[in-house]
Homo-oligomer: A and B are copies of this chain.
Amino acid sequence: MAKISVKARTSSATITDVARELGVSISTVSRALTRPQLLRPETRARVLAAVEQLNYRPNLLARGLKSGRAGAILLVVPNLSPFFMEIFAGAEEAAHEAGFSVLLGHSAEDPAREIACFDQVASGRADGIISAAVPSIYASGKRPLPPLVMVMERCPERTVPLIRVDDDTGAMRATEHLIGLGHRRIAHICGNKKAQSSARRLEGYRRALDQAGLRAQPEWIHPGDYSVQSGMDAVRRLMLLKHPPTAIFCANDEMAYGAIHALHLLGLRVPQDISIAGCDDQNMAAYSSPPLTTLHIPRHDLGRRAALELIDKLQGRDVAHEVLLPTRLVVRESTAAPAAASRARPAPR
């Protein structure tokens, strides 16, 4: 059978090698791999055996070039934090089922790198993009849009599907939890100013306070940027207020950790002296000291759904314009009723 088997030593086997080994045409080999129903089962089996024996792997570059499909989607993230990595894992799960790979594009919040990521589609390396941050590419001109699905953040281009979480309602529930424990002076540390998720969480916080008849004081609302450090800074400022808050709702877990850490440094105990709640429910939340009360964000599902929608879109199917996933408040030990002294003190007007 194997007559001419030289050259296979250097680089890996090609479809031609397989065809020659079997004495069939390359079309047959190609069909065995991509459209089995076009072949007699017996032929197909023979081809597959030869493929196995020669350890042949189709060249994805050639395949993609010819077919115009890369068979991959790209997830663009602003950083490599566990939050986005779980979205990645979710996207991978869904994509693999559909026969797609997922590439990771790390923009590092750098517009140039972000553009480079988006260019991967024009370069043929990916068929479409899931983006977790609104692309500054819009500012940069009228570049034609690649097939795109957003996660968490809405695109100015209104036709781009969005998969997000119902943060507003979630944040409202978290704040209500604090109110229900008896807190009246509840502060909020905001996330990254540019993030819509941050704005929505603030909105939910406000709504809960309104509905409870508590007037949100401007000084209770403190800017942050989702970093541990910003959580620490915020707490230092907040505790300087004439009437410091008895509870703080943070727009993510990292800032909540920062808040707790800063409070410890100030000699205050969580939750006895002050309650802290976060958002995200990262892996560590259950194990920190104290375990963190936090709003669970279904990151895995977010990634899953985004991949599903993108692939639907790529295959010409209709996609939902917006998908809203529910959050869930996980009550642990960083929140408790305020100390009697605090409770007795009147809330400022």
A interface with B by C-beta (< 8 Å): 11-12, 55, 57-62, 64-65, 68, 70, 80-82, 85-86, 88-89, 92, 103-104, 106, 119, 122-125, 143-144, 228, 232, 257-258, 260-261, 264, 283-284, 287-289, 291
Knowing A287-B258, A287-B261, A289-B288, the reply to whether A61 touches B57 (Cβ < 8 A) is no
Minimal beta-carbon separation of A250 from chain B (angstroms): 13
Minimal beta-carbon separation of A258 from chain B (angstroms): 6
Minimal beta-carbon separation of A281 from chain B (angstroms): 14
Contact among B58, B89, B287 with A80 in the assembled complex (CB-CB below 8 Å) = B89
Contact among B65, B86, B284 with A257 in the assembled complex (CB-CB below 8 Å) = B284
Q: Which single residue of chain B is at the shortest CB-CB distance from A86?
A: B80
Knowing A228-B284, A261-B287, the reply to whether A57 touches B89 (Cβ < 8 A) is no
State in angstroms the CA–CA spacing of A114 and B104 once bound together. 17
Contact among B58, B61, B143, B228 with A64 in the assembled complex (CB-CB below 8 Å) = B61
Minimal beta-carbon separation of A278 from chain B (angstroms): 13
Chain B residues closer than 8 Å to A92, beta-carbon distance: 106
State in angstroms the CA–CA spacing of A125 and B71 once bound together. 11
A-B contact pairs, 14 of them (CB 8 A): A11-B68, A57-B123, A59-B123, A80-B82, A85-B85, A103-B103, A228-B283, A257-B284, A257-B287, A257-B288, A260-B289, A261-B287, A264-B289, A288-B288
Q: Which single residue of chain B is at the shortest CB-CB distance from A75?
A: B104
CB <8 Å contact, A88 and B80: yes
Additional A-B contact list (12), CB under 8 Å, known A61-B124, A81-B85, A261-B288: A12-B122, A57-B119, A57-B123, A60-B124, A60-B125, A62-B124, A65-B65, A80-B85, A80-B88, A81-B82, A260-B289, A264-B289
Chain B residues closer than 8 Å to A70, beta-carbon distance: 61
Q: Which single residue of chain B is at the shortest CB-CB distance from A144?
A: B12
Chain B residues closer than 8 Å to A106, beta-carbon distance: 88-89, 92
Chain B residues closer than 8 Å to A55, beta-carbon distance: 122, 143
Chain B residues closer than 8 Å to A143, beta-carbon distance: 55
State in angstroms the CA–CA spacing of A95 and B62 once bound together. 24
